[in-house]
Amino acid sequence: MERLLDYLNNHIQNDWLINYNSHQLQELTQELYLELAQLLKYKSTVKIILSERETVKFLASFIAACAANCSVFLCNPDWGKQEWQQVFNLVQPDIIWGIGNWELGIENWELGIGNGEQNSTSSPLSPSSSSSPSSPSSPSSPHSPLPTPYSPLIMIPTGGSSGQIKFAIHTWETLKASVQGFVEYFQLKQVNSFCVLPLYHVSGLMQFMRSFLTGGKLAIIPFKTLDISQISNIQTSDFFISLVPTQLQRLLQNPELTNWLAQFKTVLLGGAPAWHELLEKARFNRIQLAPTYGMTETASQIATLKPDDFLNGKISSGQILPHAKIIIRNQQGQVLNYNQIGNITIQAKSLALGYYPQTWNNQDYFQVDDLGFLDEQGYLNIVGRNSDKIITGGENIYPIEIESAIRETQMVADICVIGIPDQHWGQALTALYVPNNSNTSIIEIQTQLYNKLSKFKIPKHWIPLPNLPRNTQGKINRQQLQQIATEYLQNLS
């Protein structure tokens, strides 16, 4: 993997990293690589926690770690003490690059501090007991020991919203396979990316990988600092930008940013289900939207709806990318025909090897929690998540349908529907929502729903909240909402 450094050196001539100094990136990468090379004279493997806020330092650290064949764990700098304790117990790192984690007061760890330029410690940390990650939802759940890497192992975090952090084990090859599938699907030679998502997350990292591996340009601006005066100098007509639904919603509320967004070659949308009203607003404003389906375990998207299909009214997650295959099965494992709803199973060259520290024995078969179907044209349609299914009075209900209907009333700013245990119905439909207007009554919302939904699909309980707990990718923390709803209803009784 040392050739990565040569590739980076050649890449500098293209002035590919917009708004940052490419030469500084090259120099810092070389410096960090040499530091790792020295350490590897005394250790066969090196585990690195990478939790760097600054863009150039993050990219330099990531490239250097990969070039040196180290195991690198991408981490969220904003994790709290409990989450960091999970990570340290699991990883037991040799090096930490990034934030001053010692400020969190984690016990039994000799957390070092760098010189301000590298922010690293190269001394091994004290050992601690290692916690085991949960098994994947697939027949491949038997584990194998983690192999000695023949290429760098890249650990990408997932599952943080549920309180249990896991690291999907990727390699340079699995990430490269994702890029190759993307390039072939969109028939591109170069990918120019405008990244507003965190680089430690798969959605941000893969934007870097696409630009880096194809010789494209890369602009990185944190979404919270996005300002029209800061971005007006970048010609976006040849750029891809990736957003989560809540980000798209915010941009479409600003006419100036809406016009800016409409100039992009493609706006990839993923991370969480998008609601009908949001998609219609994007279509009205002629946004070149490309709804996607993918996850950390597949190194980002494996299905994408192309912008032309979207603007022509197609509603789905699009067709499957060339590097992947999706099969729909029933609960008995039998393959279903077109338009039959079932469990989604995935085969992909970009599929993770497992969850650290264990690999999956069968990496050709990954069953996820999502339910969906393929139509005759091979377009993937997502119905909902099996674990989110609510059974009330013997009826199976998927929250996404109800949430979409409630959003269409335009009386709520945000909504989540869950099931609360009920002695008569099994589960009672419960809507936790953020009202657009404090004077809006529940009866007003319900009245509009009677013409949209069957009576048994209208929530029994309605709980107004100032906001709903979401992570940086826009995914709702349903466990937290279950607790909020349970306590709220107990106080009413």
d(CA 59, CA 107): 30
Q: Which two tokens stand for residue 185?
A: 């699907």
Residue 10, SS3?
helix
Q: Which residues of the chain have pLDDT under 70?
A: 1-2, 100-150, 160-163, 229-230, 363, 472-473, 493
User: Residue 478: its pLDDT value, please?
Assistant: 84
Cβ neighbors of 36 (< 8 A, separation 6 or more) are 46, 64, 65, 68, 70, 95
Q: Which two tokens stand for residue 326?
A: 């999706």
Helix or strand holding residue 243 (H, E): strand 239-243
pLDDT per residue as tens digits for the range 16-31: 999 898 899 999 999 9
User: Residue 205: its pLDDT value, please?
Assistant: 98
- How many CB atoms are located within 10 Å of the residue 325 CB? 14
Residue 136, SS3?
coil
Q: Which two tokens stand for residue 24?
A: 């500084």
User: Residue 142: its pLDDT value, please?
Assistant: 45
Specify whether the CB–CB gap between 316 and 362 falls below 8 A: no
Specify whether the CB–CB gap between 419 and 428 falls below 8 A: yes
pLDDT per residue as tens digits for the range 258-273: 999 999 999 999 988 8
Cβ neighbors of 82 (< 8 A, separation 6 or more) are none
Q: Letter for the amino acid at 66?
A: C
Strands 319-320, 300-304: pairing is antiparallel
Q: Which two tokens stand for residue 184?
A: 């072939």
Name the percent of the chain lying above pLDDT 70. 87
d(CA 181, CA 175): 10
Cβ neighbors of 400 (< 8 A, separation 6 or more) are 273, 383, 384, 388
d(CA 271, CA 223): 15
Residue-by-residue DSSP string for 138-193: STT-SEEEPPPPSS-EEEEEE-GGGT--EEEEEEHHHHHHHHHHHHHHHT-S--EE
d(CA 322, CA 46): 34
Find the DSSP H helices in 215-301: 228-231, 245-252, 255-261, 276-284
Query: Angle, nearest 10°, between helix axes 55-67 and 22-39?
Result: 40
